[in-house]
Chains A and B, each alone.
Chain A
């Protein structure tokens, strides 16, 4: 029963480079979420995958951000042409179903620093 895992745990990149962040949800979890948390701030919703339905991308801040998920497995969040304002912790969470009663469990996050 492993929890949600994310890799890398830390990523330092130069402005303008592309980065790819990975999330492994809890096995069998249908729903997967990505959040961004800037230093000292709350969680900002980015994108939500809900089983086989179309993802809710309403939180993606710009077209430089994209995410994919194949079935109920791994998800990758890609940030193209990174900017310094992209520096944050990127948190992934999964929940067993898409029911409103279902708790989401978080991974440890990826700390992204854009120089």
Chain B
């Protein structure tokens, strides 16, 4: 069974500092995709970044990067130079690949990030 674990229910970070949000996953598939989403207080789910299991380079999107350590089954999100607008819930998610019956996306429980001015 696939499982996503986010061990940090809440984090406080000073503005302009970098922050790492942890995510570990469990799957027996070789093909899978990892996603991070941001959910501000408005409730919308905003896609941030994607990492494929076969990607050799860590994904980057602007201030977001994904620290992908396949052997450890971790996919931590790094936000550089944090801003007040980064305050939100962050969800890690995974989708398995070749077994179509298991290709639903499963989400972790989320991390609430609060940026201090």
Contacts and interface: CB of A to CB of B under 8 A. Distances in A.
Contact of A45 (B50, B96, B106): B106
Contacts of B106: 45
B45 A106 contact: yes
B18 to A, nearest CB: 24
A41 B50 CA distance: 22
Nearest to A93: B45
Interface in A79-101: 89, 91, 93, 98-101
Task: Specify which of B31, B52, B95 lies most central, judged by the most chain A CB atoms within 10 Å of its CB.
Answer: B95
A48 interface: yes
B3 to A, nearest CB: 12
27 contacts: A33-B104, A41-B109, A42-B91, A42-B108, A42-B110, A45-B105, A45-B106, A50-B103, A53-B100, A56-B104, A59-B104, A91-B45, A93-B45, A100-B33, A100-B52, A100-B98, A100-B103, A101-B50, A102-B33, A103-B35, A104-B35, A104-B105, A105-B47, A106-B44, A106-B45, A109-B43, A109-B44
